[in-house]
Amino acid sequence: MIKPLITPNQNITTESALPAIEMKHLTKVFGELHAVDDLSLEIRQCEIFGLLGPNGSGKTTTINMVSGLSKPTSGEIHVMGYNLRTNMRQVRQILGAVPQETALYEELSAWDNLDFHADLFGIPRQEKKRRITEMLELVQLLDRKDSRVSTFSGGMKRRLALGRALLHNPQLIYLDEPTLGVDVQSRRAIWDYIRQLREQCKSVLITTNYLEEAEALCDRIAILDHGKLIAMDTPDALKQKLGGSVIELETAEPSQIIKMLRAMPGVKKVVQDGNQLRLTTEAGSNVVPQIINAVVKEGEIRNIAVREPNLDEIFLSLTGTDLRD
């Protein structure tokens, strides 16, 4: 693999302690709209960090500021120790990006797209052919290297865009909705590539509306809503904050037992949907046997399942809105 073209600023601190991205009181205002509102985040080296939020939550605006496509109204961003305001050239050399719009040259071949990008980033001529070949092999497009990009499927274009972003061996990669509009098979392949980046100690910042994607990939997650940070933690820790377990049960007369269940110690929330009840329990509680006994006394349990809370429920609990609103 080629060496990074720019190394981190070692004068600030030791590399092991240096955040990949540090945002301090970041704000972006468009007229009356606060798209990002006093956001402070620190993203570590060698981790996959996810930004989640509904449309309009500020995810893409944040990504655009980190990549230098949009200037903050106020606040600071440091990327691998470099101040973005004063060291944009150095940041661009260590940053790889896959935006929502792949922005490939449709009439050029896959090879020519990567060749052009290699020249932009000053990859030495003796390295270029090998590096392009490596990237096309990585994203499984070497057999289509001479095909026009206009003939590619959406999934193939996303994979080529990922290969382009990795071509100059960046230390930090941002991916804005990396699997948006691609088929299931391509999505799984892209997930595999992203996991490989973490194994190489690359830092990855992704935005996504797919909760399954966030759970599958991210070491930590920040949930944004209306430009503000609502919560930040690992997926497992966020689940524990919501509650210990989710109990889903079906009974003939749920309305007769809702009040009783809501009054039980260890039960945080009860939601009814027809004959179905969904109960959220407190972390560390062991109320499942008591719930079963109480329901059986009042009638018949037709079906019951116990599971962990998912990120959909966490997001709804924190924001009061569905992720895709």
By the 8 A CB rule, do 218 and 48 touch? yes
Within this chain, do residues 80 and 180 fall inside the same structural domain, yes or no? yes
User: Given this model, what pLDDT does residue 322 score?
Assistant: 61
Within this chain, do residues 251 and 205 fall inside the same structural domain, yes or no? no
pTM (predicted TM-score): 0.79
Instruction: Name the region of 247 (left: φ>0; alpha: ψ -120 to 50; beta: rest).
Output: beta
Q: How many domains does the structure of the chain reveal? A: 2
C-alpha 122/C-alpha 119 separation (Å) is: 5
Q: Looking at the predicted structure, is the pLDDT value of residue 316 above 80?
A: no
Q: What is the dihedral of CA 279, 284, 290, 296, to 10 degrees?
A: 30
Within this chain, do residues 135 and 271 fall inside the same structural domain, yes or no? no
31 assigned to some structural domain: yes
Within this chain, do residues 176 and 281 fall inside the same structural domain, yes or no? no
Confidence grade of residue 243 (pLDDT, cut at 50, 70, 90): low
Q: Looking at the predicted structure, is the pLDDT value of residue 232 above 60?
A: yes
User: Given this model, what pLDDT does residue 31 score?
Assistant: 92
Within this chain, do residues 267 and 189 fall inside the same structural domain, yes or no? no
2 assigned to some structural domain: no
Tokens 């956001």 locate to 39
What is the mean pLDDT of the segment spanning 255-274?
86
Q: Of the residues 239, 265, 293, which one is the last residue of a structural domain? A: 239
Q: Of the residues 220, 239, 258, which one is the last residue of a structural domain? A: 239
User: Out of 94-98, 132-136, 289-293, 297-301, which region has the weakest mean confidence (pLDDT)?
Assistant: 297-301
Q: Looking at the predicted structure, is the pLDDT value of residue 206 above 80?
A: yes
Q: Select the more confidently predicted residue: 12 or 324.
A: 324
Within this chain, do residues 48 and 174 fall inside the same structural domain, yes or no? yes
Within this chain, do residues 235 and 266 fall inside the same structural domain, yes or no? no
The burial of 160, by beta-carbon neighbours within 10 Å (0-12 exposed, 13-18 middle, 19 or more buried), is given as buried
Within this chain, do residues 133 and 253 fall inside the same structural domain, yes or no? no
160 assigned to some structural domain: yes
Q: Average model confidence (pLDDT) for the chain? A: 86
Q: Select the more confidently predicted residue: 142 or 288.
A: 142
Task: Say how many C-beta atoms besides its own lie within 10 A of residue 137's C-beta.
Answer: 13
Q: Of the residues 239, 259, 281, which one is the last residue of a structural domain? A: 239
321 assigned to some structural domain: no
Within this chain, do residues 162 and 25 fall inside the same structural domain, yes or no? yes
Q: Looking at the predicted structure, is the pLDDT value of residue 268 above 50?
A: yes
Confidence grade of residue 323 (pLDDT, cut at 50, 70, 90): low
What is the mean pLDDT of the segment spanning 260-274?
87
Within this chain, do residues 199 and 71 fall inside the same structural domain, yes or no? yes
Tokens 């996991």 locate to 195
Q: What is the pLDDT of residues 79-136, one digit of tens each?
A: 999 999 999 989 988 999 888 888 899 999 999 999 999 999 889 988 999 999 999 9
318 assigned to some structural domain: no
CA 273-277-281 angle, to 5 degrees, is: 135
- What is the CATH classification number for the domain harbouring 163? 3.40.50.300
User: Which structural domain range is residue 225 located in?
Assistant: 15-239
7 assigned to some structural domain: no
Confidence grade of residue 254 (pLDDT, cut at 50, 70, 90): confident
C-alpha 42/C-alpha 49 separation (Å) is: 10
5 assigned to some structural domain: no
CA 277-283-288 angle, to 5 degrees, is: 45
User: Given this model, what pLDDT does residue 239 score?
Assistant: 77
Q: What is the pLDDT of residues 20-77, one digit of tens each?
A: 999 999 999 999 999 999 999 999 999 999 998 888 889 989 989 998 889 999 999 9
Within this chain, do residues 176 and 259 fall inside the same structural domain, yes or no? no
Within this chain, do residues 137 and 286 fall inside the same structural domain, yes or no? no
- What is the CATH classification number for the domain harbouring 252? 3.30.70.920
User: Given this model, what pLDDT does residue 6 score?
Assistant: 36
3 assigned to some structural domain: no
